Amino acid sequence: MKTLLRTLVLSLGFVPLVACSAPAADAPATKPAEVKKAFEARFPNRPVQSVTPTPVAGIYEVVVQGKQIVYTDAKADYLFVGDLIDTQKRESLTEKKMAELSKVAFSSLPLNDAFKEVRGNGARKLAVFSDPDCPFCHKLENESLAKLDNVTIYTFLFPLTSLHPDAMHKSKLVWCSKDRTAAWAGWMRGGKKLSGSADCATPIERNLALGEKLGINGTPALIFANGQMVPGAIDKDEIEKLLNAK
């Protein structure tokens, strides 16, 4: 988590500080709106989504565009990134907030922009944002998704062309196939070369826009029926647990 947050702060253009001192506990409270104003004055290109006081006196949680979390003092003179830990409860307040921010109403997903694979009774639902050239997506498909049953998997093609230049072309070949599910499985699980035409209307640009809105900046990304979004090639047992969660 700490490595991820450091990466996020660098991508924002922020410079992480070594330490940050909180003011005295009896310092006058600052309204979140004032913190927001101070923050945006220093970082005008980083729109603030929310400001919330933390349990630490004088320190505020700031969520910026892209659902990224940083911490600041009231005047935005100091900024730091990392996990804010409640040592009594032994939990990361940062991880807890990130989980809240990543919640997605499954019913709001445009499922017509994905292709689906139904296994068994198909009762459990899972959406996956995936790149045909992403090695972690291949790992997820082969080591986890291929072993699931009684599930409906909706795959949103999400090519990251900055990393995989040919991923857009492959994604179009999959979408333009007569049997998208078979074409995808053949490539991802069997290494079968994609062929045919890539000249058809696709939802890929909409998928990319949707991913940005949801805060997806990597693949694979899994969204479960209860709204929980989980990044990465997680193992089958973890997927089973989340599929059965309420």
Q: What is the pLDDT of residues 56-74, one digit of tens each?
A: 999 999 999 878 899 999 9
Please tell me whether residues 156 and 228 are part of one structural domain: yes
Residues 121 and 231 occupy one common structural domain: yes
188 and 228 in a common domain: yes
Q: Per the structure, how many domains does the chain have?
A: 2
Q: Of 13, 52, 16, which Cα lies nearest the Cα of 36?
A: 52
Q: Which of 51, 70, 101 is the last residue of a domain?
A: 101
> What SS3 state is found at 79?
strand
Domain end call among 101, 118, 140: 101
Mean pLDDT of the residues in the chain: 88
Helical H runs in the chain?
2-12, 32-42, 93-101, 135-143, 167-175, 180-190, 204-214, 236-243
pLDDT tens figures, 186-224:
999 999 999 999 999 999 999 999 998 888 889 999 999
Tens digits of residue pLDDT in 87-144: 999 999 998 888 888 788 999 999 999 999 999 999 999 999 999 999 999 999 999 9
Same domain assignment for residues 48 and 150? no
**Do 164 and 185 share a domain, yes or no?**
yes
Residues 46 and 124 in one domain: no
pLDDT in tens, 19-40: 333 344 444 567 999 999 999 9
Provide CB contacts within 8 A for 4, sequence distance 6+: none
What's this model's pTM, rounded to 2 decimal places?
0.71
Give the angle subtended at the CA of 114 by the CAs of 217 and 139, to the nearest 5°. Answer: 55
Residue 18 has pLDDT above 80, yes or no: no
Domain of residue 236: give its range. Answer: 106-243
- Domain identity same for 208 and 232: yes
CA angle 169, 170, 176 (to 5 degrees): 90
Indicate which CATH number applies to the domain containing 190.
Answer: 3.40.30.10
In 5-123, which ranges are E strands? 48-53, 59-64, 68-73, 79-80, 85-86, 91-92, 115-119
* The last residue of a domain, from among 56, 75, 101: 101
Helix 180-190 × helix 135-143 angle, to 10°: 100
Instruction: Kindly state whether residues 27 and 148 are assigned to the same domain.
Output: no
The pLDDT value recorded for residue 21 is: 36
Residues 115 and 66 occupy one common structural domain: no
Looking at residue 32, which CATH number applies to its domain? 3.10.450.70
Q: Are 151 and 222 in contact (CB under 8 A)?
A: no
Residues 116 and 230 in one domain: yes
Average pLDDT (147-166) is 96
pLDDT classification of 2: cutoffs 50, 70, 90 = very low
Claim to verify: residue 167 and residue 95 sit in the same structural domain: no
- 3-state SS class at 80: strand
Residues written for the chain: 246
Confidence (pLDDT) at 99: 81
Q: Are residues 52 and 118 in the same domain?
A: no
Answer whether 98's CB lies under 8 Å from 188's CB: no
Burial of 193 (0-12, 13-18, 19+ CB in 10 A): exposed
Res 29: pLDDT: 64
